[in-house]
Structure 1
Amino acid sequence: MNCAIRVATAIFLLTSAEVRADPASDCNDGSNLTRQIRGCTQVIQKTLRSDAVSTAYMNRAIAYAQRGQYNKALADFTAAIHADGSNNFAYYNRGNIYLDMRKPRQAIADYTKAVEIASDMSPALLNRALAHEMLGEREESIADFRAAVELEPTLTAAYDGLKRLGATPRAEEGNAAAH
């Protein structure tokens, strides 16, 4: 299962005039993973702003994940979280790696933290529902699928999950059908 990974943008970097390449641009450009990793590494080494460092770690982690280097991706998502504990996308994306690695408990913890930071993060609710489903936690999965649909009514994957579990988008309809 490949989870969508969101590439963060807008890294601001203070560089000297001697630098020829633009590490921030390279870090934000996912078209060449090697250049992206190199650019993000330079941003991490030269930037003092915690939010920019967090984003650079996250972008580098995304590049590692696309290469299938999950342990490096996990390390960088963790570093992104340490640099900026309010980076909901770092938690979300680390959860995606855990989900891809078939570690749903760790994924649930990260998706929960992402939702605590940004309560309107429907992708985190959707993926947390999938993690609960992997564990056979039907009620928790249904609740998260429903919450995701409430936030984003066009989220077909959440409707598909509800259908798979024999539930409806609204709790009261599901309870009526169960009686």
Structure 2
Amino acid sequence: MPPAPAVTNFRPLRNAAVCLGLSLLAGPLAISATLAAPPARSPQLSGLATLLLGTVRGKPTGMNGVTRLTAGDVDRELRLACQELMRAGPVDLDDTTRFDGCVTRPGKIVEFHLKVSGVDATRDDTREFMASAKPILERGICRNPDVPVLGKLGVRLRYHYVAGQKQLVLLDIPPDQCLRK
């Protein structure tokens, strides 16, 4: 059997940027409108669940729901919002990226789970691209004005992107990261 041909078409890598960046990379990388998917419809969600989903989509919500984090048990409120998002089911963010939900960890940690299709996570060039895209994705997350406010409230955000069973990238946004940007 002949060896596999060398990859000369980097469209899959460009598509990976679209997949992983969701709307976060759209601004920083100026992805053309032809590659961006139409916005997915959101299920009816509480303000805090909408806020959390907005951090994944890269869309500010005007801090809708933040008052639930300023009075009461923050870990409990975050857990309830993630449970609501899990019940709402997966949300397609674009044609290759799906938000599968979130879970919380003690200490105001929210972990988002995102599934990317059409990307081979075992390829060296994919891993190299993801490593180089990570700072761009982090800056995109921090540009959402809701994220620094969550940081001021002590919330840590983690974005787990997977393709198949392989992790593509983990973006860890500690509470003070977006305050420095």
Tell me which protein shows more strand as a share of its residues.
2
Q: Determine which structure has more spread, i.e. the larger CA radius of gyration.
A: 1
Using structure 2 for the length normalisation, give the TM-score.
0.25
> Which structure ranks higher in relative contact order (CA pairs < 8 Å, sequence separation ≥ 6)?
2
Tell me which protein shows more helix as a share of its residues.
1
